[in-house]
Amino acid sequence: MKIIVFISRILTGLVFIFSGFVKAIDPVGTQIKFSDYFEAMGLAFLMPYALIFSFLLNAAELTVGLMLLFNVFTKFASWAGLFFLIIFTPLTLWLAIANPVTDCGCFGDAVKLTNWQTFWKNVVLLIFILTIFFYRKKYGTDFKMNKTKILFSVFVLISFGFQFYNFYNLPVIDFRPLKEGTNIKDAVSYPPDAEKDVYETEIYYRNRKTGNSKGFDINTIPYEDTLNWVYDTTVTKLIKKGYEPPVHDFFLSDLNGRDITKSILNDKRLSCILIMPDFEKGIKRIRNYKRKLTDIAFYTDYNHYKFYCYTSSETLVINQYRNSLPPYVQILTGDYKMLKTFIRSNPGFVILKDGIILKKYHYLNIPDINTIKKLNQ
């Protein structure tokens, strides 16, 4: 039995560590997923606290995983792991049945699981954690209490410190489709042999005598039998999902509504981009970097490069704060979720050339002119 408990502890610890680690890389991504959950569950009042929940969940998962792996505070870790799975196993069953969100986000953007895959994963983990829990006293830690407390403190500090580093910089590993080195033109394209969505259409007719509706396919509809049947409604269902490109919402337009996505992606010259999903918040944050951004603006203008600002804010907000931007910056609008996926910083700074993402920066690390020149060589 000792071997079974050991294997259960190691495997459960590794899964918890991986789950906490890939989400701690991108706490903003977990924040977005929490917001999706709150909206689906009618808990919109919790959305302002989504980032706090993100930090706490990621740190808890990572800490519990490290405790299980290194057999530290095993009794507490088994209780905590059991608590997690008692909460999340029924939750993921509900997600699998109701499907309010298509991706649970349990492994961040690193690994995508369907809701049913997530549920069965939790069922297996629940078996493992119950094994650890029932034998927690017999096969507990061999560390002395002082050493255990030190290790526990280190695990907690690592869990929170790692998240704060990624939050105030950019994720150390980017699992999203718009990462550095990505050719956006390829990422938004459909291959010639790509599978298309398959739909099934069912046409409902209502029986004049009984008042009941019945579904028919296109070949069996009783359109000639007008004495007994009358058309009611048509329902189209997605039977099989076809190919979807990694990036499917990359559309940018100027303030007149003109789509200029192709001209951006086909521009052979270097482009500098400020990305501000929330325009007002982004403007307030770049005030301390206005001199550096102004230098970049003059550099791009002198060399006939483009300097864009992508935002998803309303025109009223844009007009209110647009004069706070550096000169020569063209404002474009795009989808909020796409911009948040593009870069986990508001504002973020991106260097693009021929549709390829050369480099991305947090607004705290906006590059100087020399760095931009080197990237353009």
pLDDT tier at 271, thresholds 50, 70, 90: very high
Q: Where are the domains of the chain?
A: 2-168, 198-240, 253-375
Residue 140: the pLDDT is 64
pLDDT (tens digit, 9 = 90+) per residue, 287-304? 889 999 999 999 999 999
Contacts of 150 (CB under 8 A, 6+ apart): none
Q: Please tell me the predicted confidence (pLDDT) of residue 173.
A: 94
Coil/strand/helix, residue 216 = strand
Using one digit for the tens of pLDDT, what is the confidence trace for 120-149?
A: 999 999 999 999 888 877 766 666 678 888
For residue 156, pLDDT over 70 is answered with yes
Token look-up 């799975």 returns 85
At the topology level, CATH places domain 253-375 in Glutaredoxin (3.40.30)
Residue 174 C-alpha from the chain's centroid: 11
Interatomic CA distance for residues 205 and 239, integer angstroms: 22
Of 97-101, 155-159, 265-269, 270-274, give the lowest mean pLDDT range. Answer: 97-101
Q: What is the pLDDT of residues 6-49, one digit of tens each?
A: 889 999 999 999 999 999 999 999 999 999 889 888 898 999 99
pLDDT the model gives residue 296: 95
As a residue count, the chain comes to 377
Write down the pLDDT at residue 154. Answer: 95
Among residues 117, 12, 126, 94, which one has the least CA distance to residue 61?
A: 12
Average pLDDT over residues 106-111: 88
Considering only residues 243 and 22, tell me which one the structure prediction assigns the higher pLDDT: 22
Closest CA relative to residue 351, chosen from 307, 311, 318: 307
Share of the chain above pLDDT 70, in %: 98
Helix (H, G, I), strand (E, B) or coil at 310: strand
Sheet-wide strand order for 198-207: 213-216, 198-207, 229-240
Looking at residues 211-215, what average pLDDT do you find? 90
